[in-house]
Structure 1
């Protein structure tokens, strides 16, 4: 190990005293005088190496203490020339005692320190130049092979699935993988998809379901309603159609997470494409009839038609698997209306197509080109072949958050829907041709639909039981439970159950404070209701307080207050304007003002005082004017007489001019008064 003395004295020699003591004591070190039976290993001039190897880190800890290891911030040609150490708290501060590491300290792969030089260990000779060239060639060939392998595009592993994108109902999960090609990420080098998406169930049913398609169409125009394209590949696009009919219009892709259709709410749209999913067993929207327990509703009505719209039936919301049949003796026009404010009547004839009815007897009759192909040949009671026009009208329309399909002939109307209705739906009809006055036309309406049952499992029947009185009124008691059954049946044995387990000590518990009686001022008060309850019961909600409350006489402790002050803060006050004051003069022109007053006792509570408003005023009915002042014997200037009469009349209205030409203006006034007199 590096000697400590050598760290201070670079060159030293033994003193005579030390040399004598060393030789004297070394005679008693018998192990130094014995010759080893092991011939050892000749190292080609190297010194003998210790059998136990101390690493450089261990030598640093021995020299400088715990926490020290080989310093890696100092670059040296040979690690065996000098031992440099550094503490882990200050890895950039290196220390050394200017001594090499121990002989035989490992300094590399199959190398150790010998005479401050890092040499190969025995059996690991230095490679010749040919060996080095061979090694370089092998290394280059491996690198070329590795580069060729890296030129092949490879996919990375799939990432973990993301969280569900929806807070309620059905949403989407996604995951990605990257394509690596020539050391970089490529978007097109690899074959296959780098992105996957699947549906997920958020675990919670949405409280209020809205039709996303209807909301988008309504934002486009007030008369637009949703339209479900017959091509399934376009179900994730926004299609809208006018109430009054016409062709549909496209407004782009639906938002991600929107159901692809009305019949399968678990299929979700993503970037204009439908991602198919599965119905979750806990979803009441698609699993609305679990285990087959649901209510089947069938109603039959008879309606008399008038000349206007006649209400056929009202379908309630939450109705599933709707089927309506209207048997009519005359052709009808059918309309629907959602039970919502400002919803218009939707005439189904404006959203339908006509199809000719194929007669089964056509193949037995001779083809006549003069007869239109939409005429149906039928046989009447007197066995006379009659020709009657036959056609079928079919269509689809979105209403009440579901897709309704309907078919109409001259004698029947069929309306059906597979998904749930979100709102009540009214079905109306009126005759295609006016009804003759006095004629009664009756139609029969058959309605069938299913609704979820209030229970999700079959009823369970068991014998009734009779419970006896409790053995204690509080603190825990026991009572007998006797089953009651018929004489012919074997009853269950008598059992016991605990009762009145609440404490026998009672205390007051206060309910929630009500709203404050005032928002500010000095009179705000809150009230609450007090309950006497046992000590060991839960009182976290009002329902539990009412359930566990007992007679107030059982609470012996002092009753807490039912009232407390609240909102005792100064009310905000502002400057108020008083009515306009009277005119400042009793006659003629003056000024009227509107004084400001602060309602608070301290005017500083009203804030900065605003500017007071003023306005001009004039009081009529003043007395006679004072006589004008007397003029000087002569005017100040001689030019007053040079003005013409009309010019002088105008200039005399100006006070400075009248002052200089007082006599001329006075004569003009007298002449004017005589002329009017």
Structure 2
């Protein structure tokens, strides 16, 4: 965080005096944890909604904050800041997203804020164009967002740490046109921020260290203090580039005018970058992280910097108002001579104040005069002439950093003859030249150089305790030149130093060495930066003409869970490469001729990594999505047998290695070795195998011997004892039920293998106690429901044709379970039994077929065979009498009844 300190000039009528008044400062820096969002080009966020920001990956969690705040009583008032890293030359573009919050819009007005922001960013661009930075860096605004209100997912308040955390997360989700992202995001706030609490205090800016180009950490927050905001942005962006404060862990002094000084104050109105800042930047630009700065910027037409100088757009009175409030204006006291070096402002009373910041470039400093490069010159002139830097002579070579094993010595020069001034260009080229020295191997018993450096901490207490330290090198490549040591007999390690001593090997299997904390390439000719390499036979700058190449493919299929030899590689081999053809569950293994395993032996699978054996270092790689491989540049000092521990199908293994061509061919002859027994019981065979021996001592590839003289192989029986008994099962019988749960039964026998092709039945006591199941459930699915009926009811008639009924219902039929009535819809409807039917208990007697039935007046009911007909008659007396035809019918019926009755 940062803030300009200020001084107050009190000027009573009788005497004039200067009183420096400075704000108190508290600094409780916290490490912000950043989570994040992609960039959209817009001006009104009120119409945009964003999803919740995703959390950042774990590797972006550890972030050192910048703390740039006003100092306590340090003389002429300055501004505090905190840590960050540069090394690629020319044409680097920082594509910058600038976001101005709601308070900025309220302060400057919607119609003026865009010009103001671009003016400030133009000043920032000029600072990064200063020759003392040592690199051509362009600050390019590709997106400018003006927030009329806080968008979803972004919280901005007085707490700089929390606000920066929120902003970094939010900006990570913004994307520009065509899906292109910005390289760096700058938040400008009109709030009075504080690094450690949600209240106003002296903090001016906050930034992660070395965050440039990171999706989640390339971001800063900066408090608006007027045009001096440009220096805050430059400082915080410097931290994002990896620059650390001058004088904090580096030899640079806290000099006024240095942009990365812990306190901010101009040096006669001029700001520049220190030697340390330049080195930090060079180191950062030498990393892959800085690759985002190489591409060409897009969308620059919409955000072109103003053509007028800042001081032409905003006069001294306006600059004072921004620094000290709306009542401030340019001080008119006579002692104020040159506002181009320090801008003095007046608020109230007879006193003037300054923040020791110069008036902006182009500010009027007198009649027809303006400020240029810290000087008040005639209007139209560009101020002092630019002085370009020139190199000093090279220094003498330093002492070698090591007495053996390859140390480093160097000589230096500085860009001081003359130094660049007045925006002059910095010297091109390197300021340091390194060279290897004392490259002869160290004596056999010499302690490893990295181990020596760790051992130096044995006599120093670590958190109150003493430990024995040894090197720890299982770190990422970017950390290989830091001194990590692990406490002996304990499981913790620690970075004892940010860099190892010059000349320390980057790794055991490469020639590269660490210089100033960076791993530098070393060619096989022992020259730094050389691209000279060994050929396949180990000859520096060779063309492989002296090599003999051996290649093969092992595709034989075998029984799983056994070791199988694929190729035997003789001593002296180089460029050995063994690789599976596809991902598999099998493992590569390596052993000596004496069956001593170096990798994945005795059924123990080793983790991937570096393995030292046979006089060289093997790199064993195994990944879940890549075929397993093994490689060494060699040479080996003994014959090695490469095997595969087969797990399932052999995926096929490619092998290759080289041997140097030799003029005199050694003597190769066949030898005979016995194999292991092919079976552990029931009669295996031991076979003799011919191997090719060099000078009757060392086994080599069979291709070295004459195949025509290969001895005849034989075999004999071994391990003829019977094998342990085992259970043999028959096929399962049919199920006892078709549904509702039945059982199946199978036979069970105890067998043992007597010979390769014969087995015999033995008592069950010979077999393992736990036997396979003989009974198992089957057809456990439920049976379908069926119709069920109740008993028939009595017939509705005692004689003749009647009806009887019964209940019909659908019920479950699972055996062994209580029947349950279920809905009729669950049974098959076309199989439903009848619920009623006709019935005849007996025939009715004849005299009962016709009878008189009394009825109401005028109605006669005749019942015949249970069927009824009705006949209306005026009087019952019609029966038995002659009458009309109708009466006759009735009469005849009556006679019939009478006849029946008389029978």
TM over 0.5: no
* TM interval, short-chain normalised: under 0.3
**What TM-score do the two structures reach when normalised by structure 2?**
0.21
**What TM-score do the two structures reach when normalised by structure 1?**
0.26
Q: Greater CA radius of gyration, 1 or 2?
A: 1
